[in-house]
Protein backbone atom coordinates (compact mmCIF):
# COMPACT_ATOMS: atom_id res chain seq x y z
CA UNK A 1 0.00 0.00 0.00
CA UNK A 2 1.18 3.55 -0.77
CA UNK A 3 0.63 6.11 2.07
CA UNK A 4 -1.91 8.76 1.26
CA UNK A 5 0.51 11.58 1.96
CA UNK A 6 3.11 10.22 -0.44
CA UNK A 7 3.52 12.44 -3.47
CA UNK A 8 4.14 10.74 -6.78
CA UNK A 9 5.99 12.82 -9.29
CA UNK A 10 4.26 12.96 -12.67
CA UNK A 11 5.67 10.40 -15.03
CA UNK A 12 7.94 8.90 -12.38
CA UNK A 13 6.17 5.55 -12.50
CA UNK A 14 6.65 5.28 -16.23
CA UNK A 15 10.29 6.33 -16.01
CA UNK A 16 11.02 3.73 -13.30
CA UNK A 17 9.31 1.03 -15.36
CA UNK A 18 11.23 2.10 -18.43
CA UNK A 19 14.49 1.95 -16.50
CA UNK A 20 13.64 -1.51 -15.28
CA UNK A 21 12.86 -2.68 -18.82
CA UNK A 22 16.07 -1.18 -20.09
CA UNK A 23 18.57 -3.99 -20.30
CA UNK A 24 22.14 -3.38 -19.37
CA UNK A 25 24.84 -4.45 -21.77
CA UNK A 26 27.06 -7.05 -20.17
CA UNK A 27 30.10 -8.87 -21.45
CA UNK A 28 28.04 -12.02 -22.02
CA UNK A 29 25.47 -10.19 -24.12
CA UNK A 30 28.09 -8.35 -26.17
CA UNK A 31 30.13 -11.48 -26.78
CA UNK A 32 26.99 -13.39 -27.75
CA UNK A 33 26.04 -10.70 -30.30
CA UNK A 34 29.57 -10.62 -31.73
CA UNK A 35 29.86 -14.39 -32.10
CA UNK A 36 26.36 -15.24 -33.26
CA UNK A 37 25.51 -12.07 -35.18
CA UNK A 38 28.70 -10.26 -36.08
CA UNK A 39 30.73 -13.24 -37.29
CA UNK A 40 27.98 -14.68 -39.54
CA UNK A 41 27.35 -11.20 -40.93
CA UNK A 42 31.03 -10.75 -41.77
CA UNK A 43 31.16 -14.19 -43.39
CA UNK A 44 28.05 -13.38 -45.40
CA UNK A 45 29.51 -10.09 -46.58
CA UNK A 46 32.81 -11.72 -47.58
CA UNK A 47 31.52 -14.84 -49.30
CA UNK A 48 28.14 -13.68 -50.69
CA UNK A 49 27.90 -9.93 -51.10
CA UNK A 50 31.55 -9.34 -52.02
CA UNK A 51 31.62 -11.88 -54.92
CA UNK A 52 28.37 -10.49 -56.27
CA UNK A 53 29.74 -6.93 -56.17
CA UNK A 54 32.93 -8.15 -57.83
CA UNK A 55 30.95 -9.90 -60.58
CA UNK A 56 28.94 -6.74 -61.15
CA UNK A 57 32.17 -4.77 -61.56
CA UNK A 58 33.57 -7.34 -63.99
CA UNK A 59 30.33 -7.12 -65.98
CA UNK A 60 31.19 -3.52 -66.78
CA UNK A 61 34.63 -4.38 -68.17
CA UNK A 62 36.00 -6.14 -71.26
CA UNK A 63 37.95 -8.66 -69.18
CA UNK A 64 38.85 -11.80 -71.13
CA UNK A 65 39.41 -13.88 -68.00
CA UNK A 66 42.91 -14.85 -68.97
CA UNK A 67 44.75 -11.52 -68.72
CA UNK A 68 45.35 -9.21 -65.75
CA UNK A 69 44.23 -6.14 -67.69
CA UNK A 70 40.65 -4.99 -68.14
CA UNK A 71 39.05 -1.82 -69.44
CA UNK A 72 35.96 -0.24 -67.93
CA UNK A 73 33.22 -0.06 -70.59
CA UNK A 74 30.15 0.76 -68.50
CA UNK A 75 26.87 -0.85 -69.49
CA UNK A 76 28.01 -1.88 -72.96
CA UNK A 77 27.90 -5.58 -72.06
CA UNK A 78 24.27 -5.30 -70.97
CA UNK A 79 23.34 -3.51 -74.18
CA UNK A 80 25.07 -6.25 -76.13
CA UNK A 81 23.21 -8.94 -74.18
CA UNK A 82 19.73 -7.64 -74.80
CA UNK A 83 20.54 -7.24 -78.50
CA UNK A 84 21.82 -10.83 -78.72
CA UNK A 85 19.16 -13.18 -80.15
CA UNK A 86 20.85 -16.27 -78.73
CA UNK A 87 20.89 -14.92 -75.19
CA UNK A 88 17.28 -13.74 -75.45
CA UNK A 89 16.34 -17.21 -76.67
CA UNK A 90 18.01 -18.62 -73.56
CA UNK A 91 16.08 -16.15 -71.38
CA UNK A 92 12.84 -17.27 -73.01
CA UNK A 93 13.69 -20.93 -72.34
CA UNK A 94 14.38 -20.15 -68.69
CA UNK A 95 11.08 -18.30 -68.37
CA UNK A 96 9.30 -21.31 -69.90
CA UNK A 97 10.98 -23.58 -67.36
CA UNK A 98 10.03 -21.26 -64.49
CA UNK A 99 6.38 -21.40 -65.57
CA UNK A 100 6.13 -25.12 -66.29
CA UNK A 101 8.55 -26.93 -63.96
CA UNK A 102 7.31 -25.72 -60.54
CA UNK A 103 3.64 -26.11 -61.43
CA UNK A 104 3.93 -29.63 -62.86
CA UNK A 105 6.29 -30.86 -60.15
CA UNK A 106 4.29 -29.46 -57.25
CA UNK A 107 0.94 -30.71 -58.56
CA UNK A 108 2.26 -34.24 -59.08
CA UNK A 109 4.00 -34.19 -55.70
CA UNK A 110 0.83 -33.02 -53.96
CA UNK A 111 -1.22 -35.77 -55.61
CA UNK A 112 1.27 -38.45 -54.58
CA UNK A 113 1.62 -37.05 -51.06
CA UNK A 114 -2.14 -37.00 -50.62
CA UNK A 115 -2.50 -40.57 -51.86
CA UNK A 116 0.13 -41.99 -49.49
CA UNK A 117 -1.17 -40.10 -46.43
CA UNK A 118 -4.94 -39.63 -46.60
CA UNK A 119 -5.92 -41.25 -49.90
CA UNK A 120 -6.71 -44.68 -48.51
CA UNK A 121 -10.04 -46.23 -47.57
CA UNK A 122 -12.90 -43.82 -46.94
CA UNK A 123 -13.91 -45.85 -43.90
CA UNK A 124 -12.21 -46.22 -40.56
CA UNK A 125 -8.95 -44.54 -39.63
CA UNK A 126 -7.52 -41.85 -41.91
CA UNK A 127 -4.63 -43.46 -43.76
CA UNK A 128 -2.91 -43.65 -47.11
CA UNK A 129 -2.94 -46.24 -49.82
CA UNK A 130 -1.89 -49.78 -49.07
CA UNK A 131 1.91 -50.21 -49.24
CA UNK A 132 2.32 -46.44 -49.15
CA UNK A 133 5.81 -46.76 -47.62
CA UNK A 134 6.95 -48.65 -50.71
CA UNK A 135 5.63 -45.89 -52.97
CA UNK A 136 7.51 -43.27 -50.94
CA UNK A 137 10.81 -45.11 -51.31
CA UNK A 138 10.35 -45.70 -55.03
CA UNK A 139 9.34 -42.09 -55.66
CA UNK A 140 12.20 -40.67 -53.61
CA UNK A 141 14.87 -42.89 -55.18
CA UNK A 142 15.54 -40.68 -58.28
CA UNK A 143 16.43 -37.76 -56.00
CA UNK A 144 19.31 -39.78 -54.53
CA UNK A 145 20.98 -40.08 -57.94
CA UNK A 146 23.37 -37.25 -58.92
CA UNK A 147 21.97 -34.90 -61.55
CA UNK A 148 24.77 -35.60 -64.02
CA UNK A 149 24.15 -39.35 -63.73
CA UNK A 150 20.44 -38.79 -64.36
CA UNK A 151 21.24 -36.71 -67.45
CA UNK A 152 23.60 -39.35 -68.87
CA UNK A 153 21.14 -42.16 -68.11
CA UNK A 154 18.19 -40.45 -69.79
CA UNK A 155 20.41 -39.44 -72.67
CA UNK A 156 20.94 -43.15 -73.30
CA UNK A 157 17.22 -43.86 -72.89
CA UNK A 158 16.39 -41.16 -75.47
CA UNK A 159 19.07 -42.40 -77.89
CA UNK A 160 17.48 -42.61 -81.37
CA UNK A 161 19.15 -45.83 -82.50
CA UNK A 162 19.59 -47.95 -79.38
CA UNK A 163 17.55 -46.13 -76.73
CA UNK A 164 15.14 -47.96 -74.44
CA UNK A 165 12.25 -45.57 -75.12
CA UNK A 166 12.17 -46.04 -78.89
CA UNK A 167 12.68 -49.78 -78.44
CA UNK A 168 9.63 -50.02 -76.14
CA UNK A 169 7.45 -47.89 -78.43
CA UNK A 170 8.34 -49.83 -81.57
CA UNK A 171 7.80 -53.14 -79.75
CA UNK A 172 4.12 -52.25 -79.24
CA UNK A 173 3.63 -51.34 -82.90
CA UNK A 174 4.41 -47.62 -82.89
CA UNK A 175 6.88 -47.83 -85.76
CA UNK A 176 6.82 -44.07 -86.35
CA UNK A 177 9.10 -43.74 -83.31
CA UNK A 178 11.81 -45.92 -84.80
CA UNK A 179 15.05 -43.89 -84.61
CA UNK A 180 13.06 -40.86 -83.42
CA UNK A 181 15.45 -38.18 -82.03
CA UNK A 182 13.70 -37.06 -78.85
CA UNK A 183 16.47 -34.64 -77.93
CA UNK A 184 17.33 -33.81 -81.53
CA UNK A 185 13.88 -32.66 -82.59
CA UNK A 186 12.93 -29.07 -81.79
CA UNK A 187 9.34 -30.10 -81.08
CA UNK A 188 10.22 -32.61 -78.36
CA UNK A 189 13.64 -31.59 -77.00
CA UNK A 190 12.34 -29.25 -74.29
CA UNK A 191 9.42 -31.53 -73.36
CA UNK A 192 11.76 -34.50 -72.96
CA UNK A 193 14.12 -32.44 -70.83
CA UNK A 194 11.33 -31.14 -68.59
CA UNK A 195 10.12 -34.72 -68.06
CA UNK A 196 13.57 -35.77 -66.82
CA UNK A 197 13.77 -32.88 -64.32
CA UNK A 198 10.25 -33.49 -63.04
CA UNK A 199 10.97 -37.23 -62.71
CA UNK A 200 14.04 -36.53 -60.61
CA UNK A 201 12.36 -34.09 -58.17
CA UNK A 202 8.79 -35.33 -57.69
CA UNK A 203 9.82 -37.80 -54.99
CA UNK A 204 11.68 -35.21 -52.93
CA UNK A 205 8.82 -32.74 -52.86
CA UNK A 206 6.36 -35.56 -52.22
CA UNK A 207 8.28 -36.35 -49.02
CA UNK A 208 8.27 -32.64 -48.13
CA UNK A 209 4.49 -32.46 -48.53
CA UNK A 210 3.99 -35.75 -46.69
CA UNK A 211 5.72 -34.23 -43.66
CA UNK A 212 3.41 -31.22 -43.89
CA UNK A 213 0.26 -33.32 -44.22
CA UNK A 214 1.29 -35.48 -41.27
CA UNK A 215 1.24 -32.32 -39.16
CA UNK A 216 -2.45 -31.67 -39.92
CA UNK A 217 -4.76 -32.97 -37.16
CA UNK A 218 -6.66 -36.08 -38.30
CA UNK A 219 -9.84 -34.60 -36.81
CA UNK A 220 -10.01 -32.09 -39.67
CA UNK A 221 -10.02 -34.85 -42.28
CA UNK A 222 -12.56 -36.84 -40.28
CA UNK A 223 -14.82 -33.78 -40.04
CA UNK A 224 -14.55 -33.23 -43.79
CA UNK A 225 -15.41 -36.89 -44.39
CA UNK A 226 -18.48 -36.61 -42.15
CA UNK A 227 -19.60 -33.51 -44.05
CA UNK A 228 -19.45 -35.52 -47.26
CA UNK A 229 -16.35 -33.91 -48.80
CA UNK A 230 -14.61 -36.03 -51.41
CA UNK A 231 -10.88 -36.51 -51.77
CA UNK A 232 -10.45 -33.64 -54.23
CA UNK A 233 -12.53 -31.26 -52.11
CA UNK A 234 -10.60 -32.26 -48.99
CA UNK A 235 -7.27 -31.71 -50.73
CA UNK A 236 -8.28 -28.28 -52.05
CA UNK A 237 -10.03 -26.98 -48.92
CA UNK A 238 -7.94 -28.53 -46.14
CA UNK A 239 -4.61 -29.96 -47.30
CA UNK A 240 -3.42 -27.17 -49.60
CA UNK A 241 -4.26 -24.22 -47.27
CA UNK A 242 -2.65 -25.89 -44.25
CA UNK A 243 0.63 -26.71 -46.01
CA UNK A 244 0.77 -23.46 -47.91
CA UNK A 245 4.19 -22.54 -46.51
CA UNK A 246 5.60 -25.86 -47.70
CA UNK A 247 4.19 -25.25 -51.16
CA UNK A 248 5.67 -21.75 -51.26
CA UNK A 249 9.09 -23.09 -50.29
CA UNK A 250 8.89 -25.83 -52.90
CA UNK A 251 7.82 -23.34 -55.58
CA UNK A 252 10.76 -21.04 -54.85
CA UNK A 253 13.27 -23.89 -54.89
CA UNK A 254 11.91 -25.28 -58.13
CA UNK A 255 11.89 -21.82 -59.68
CA UNK A 256 15.54 -21.30 -58.75
CA UNK A 257 16.35 -24.68 -60.26
CA UNK A 258 14.48 -23.74 -63.44
CA UNK A 259 16.49 -20.52 -63.72
CA UNK A 260 19.69 -22.56 -63.56
CA UNK A 261 19.14 -26.14 -64.81
CA UNK A 262 22.71 -26.19 -66.13
CA UNK A 263 23.57 -29.78 -65.20
CA UNK A 264 20.47 -31.33 -66.78
CA UNK A 265 20.69 -29.23 -69.93
CA UNK A 266 24.42 -29.80 -70.35
CA UNK A 267 24.08 -33.56 -69.84
CA UNK A 268 21.09 -34.01 -72.15
CA UNK A 269 21.92 -31.40 -74.82
CA UNK A 270 25.36 -29.93 -74.32
CA UNK A 271 25.08 -27.79 -77.44
CA UNK A 272 21.79 -26.15 -76.50
CA UNK A 273 19.54 -28.41 -78.53
CA UNK A 274 18.23 -27.99 -82.07
CA UNK A 275 17.90 -24.29 -82.89
CA UNK A 276 18.82 -23.54 -79.26
CA UNK A 277 15.50 -24.99 -78.15
CA UNK A 278 16.90 -26.12 -74.77
CA UNK A 279 19.60 -23.48 -74.30
CA UNK A 280 19.45 -21.74 -70.89
CA UNK A 281 21.27 -18.71 -69.55
CA UNK A 282 23.74 -20.69 -67.45
CA UNK A 283 24.80 -22.66 -70.54
CA UNK A 284 25.27 -19.51 -72.59
CA UNK A 285 27.25 -18.02 -69.71
CA UNK A 286 29.56 -21.04 -69.71
CA UNK A 287 30.06 -20.91 -73.50
CA UNK A 288 30.75 -17.17 -73.42
CA UNK A 289 33.28 -17.39 -70.59
CA UNK A 290 35.27 -20.50 -71.44
CA UNK A 291 34.76 -20.96 -75.19
CA UNK A 292 34.84 -17.33 -76.27
CA UNK A 293 37.02 -15.92 -73.49
CA UNK A 294 34.62 -13.06 -72.69
CA UNK A 295 34.41 -13.13 -68.93
CA UNK A 296 33.13 -9.57 -68.73
CA UNK A 297 30.16 -10.41 -70.90
CA UNK A 298 29.63 -13.67 -69.04
CA UNK A 299 29.62 -11.78 -65.74
CA UNK A 300 26.85 -9.58 -67.12
CA UNK A 301 24.87 -12.73 -67.88
CA UNK A 302 25.43 -13.89 -64.31
CA UNK A 303 24.17 -10.57 -62.94
CA UNK A 304 21.03 -10.80 -65.10
CA UNK A 305 20.47 -14.36 -63.89
CA UNK A 306 20.89 -13.31 -60.26
CA UNK A 307 18.49 -10.38 -60.65
CA UNK A 308 15.89 -12.63 -62.29
CA UNK A 309 16.22 -15.11 -59.42
CA UNK A 310 15.70 -12.37 -56.82
CA UNK A 311 12.73 -10.97 -58.73
CA UNK A 312 11.16 -14.42 -58.98
CA UNK A 313 11.52 -15.03 -55.23
CA UNK A 314 10.14 -11.58 -54.47
CA UNK A 315 7.13 -12.11 -56.73
CA UNK A 316 6.34 -15.44 -55.08
CA UNK A 317 6.46 -13.89 -51.59
CA UNK A 318 4.37 -10.92 -52.74
CA UNK A 319 1.70 -13.08 -54.34
CA UNK A 320 1.59 -15.27 -51.25
CA UNK A 321 1.10 -12.21 -49.03
CA UNK A 322 -1.55 -10.62 -51.27
CA UNK A 323 -3.53 -13.86 -51.38
CA UNK A 324 -3.59 -14.18 -47.60
CA UNK A 325 -0.75 -16.63 -47.18
CA UNK A 326 0.39 -15.18 -43.84
CA UNK A 327 -3.04 -15.41 -42.21
CA UNK A 328 -3.93 -18.16 -39.81
CA UNK A 329 -6.11 -20.70 -41.60
CA UNK A 330 -8.10 -21.35 -38.44
CA UNK A 331 -9.39 -17.79 -38.57
Tell me if 307 is assigned to some domain. Answer: no
CB 202 within 8 A of CB 141: no
Tell me if 234 is assigned to some domain. Answer: yes
Integer Cα distance of 331 and 328 in angstroms: 6
pLDDT in tens, 295-321: 999 999 999 999 999 999 999 989 888
Residue-averaged pLDDT of the chain:
85
Give 4 or 77, the one with higher predicted confidence: 77
Q: For 1-61, where are the alpha helices, taking DSSP H only?
A: 12-21, 27-33, 39-44, 50-58
Calculate mean pLDDT across residues 234-254: 89
pTM of the model: 0.83
Tell me if 54 is assigned to some domain. Answer: no
| CATH number for position 262 | 1.10.3720.10
Tell me if 301 is assigned to some domain. Answer: no
Cβ atoms within 10 Å, residue 330: 6
Q: Taking the chain, what is the end-to-end CA distance rounded to the nearest angstrom?
A: 43
**What is the 3 state secondary structure string of 199-245?**
HHHHHHHHHHHHHHHHCCCHHHHHHHHHCCCCHHHHHHHHHHHHCHH
Q: Which residues of 211-228 are buried (b: 16+ CB within 10 A; e: fewer)?
A: ebbeebeeebbeebbeee
pLDDT band of residue 165 (cuts 50, 70, 90) is: very high
| CA angle centred on 94, ends 89 and 99, rounded to 5° | 125
Print the domain residue range for 181. 96-279
Count the domains in the chain. 1
pLDDT computed for residue 78 by the predictor: 95
List Cα–Cα distances, 259 to 224, 271, 299, in angstroms. Answer: 39, 18, 16
Integer Cα distance of 216 and 100 in angstroms: 28
**What is the 3 state secondary structure string of 98-152?**
HHHHHHHHHHHHHHHHHHHHHCCCCCCCCCCCCCHHHHHHHHHHHHHCCHHHHHH
pLDDT band of residue 101 (cuts 50, 70, 90) is: very high
Answer whether residue 270 shows pLDDT above 90: no
Q: Which residues of 254-266 are buried (b: 16+ CB within 10 A; e: fewer)?
A: bbebbbbbebbbb
pLDDT in tens, 11-35: 555 555 555 555 677 877 888 788 8
Tell me if 306 is assigned to some domain. Answer: no
Tell me if 8 is assigned to some domain. Answer: no
pLDDT band of residue 3 (cuts 50, 70, 90) is: low
Q: Which of 87-96, 156-165, 249-258, 315-324 has the lowest mean pLDDT?
A: 315-324
pLDDT computed for residue 221 by the predictor: 82
Give 20 or 196, the one with higher predicted confidence: 196
pLDDT band of residue 155 (cuts 50, 70, 90) is: very high
Tell me if 148 is assigned to some domain. Answer: yes
Phi-psi group of 280: left, alpha or beta (phi > 0 → left; psi -120 to 50 → alpha; rest → beta): beta
Tell me if 302 is assigned to some domain. Answer: no
pLDDT in tens, 106-147: 999 998 888 888 766 666 556 666 777 777 788 888 888 999
Amino acid sequence: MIPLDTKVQPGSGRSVAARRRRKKLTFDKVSFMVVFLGVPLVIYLIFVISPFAQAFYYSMTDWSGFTPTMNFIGLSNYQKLFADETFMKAVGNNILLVIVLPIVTIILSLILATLVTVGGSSRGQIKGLRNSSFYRVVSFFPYTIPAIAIGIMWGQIYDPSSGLLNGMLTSVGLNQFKSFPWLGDERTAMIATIFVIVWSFVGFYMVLFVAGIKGIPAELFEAARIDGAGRIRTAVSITVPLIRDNIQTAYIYMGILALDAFVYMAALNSGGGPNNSTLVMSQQLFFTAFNKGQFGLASAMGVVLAVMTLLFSGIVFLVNRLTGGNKDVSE
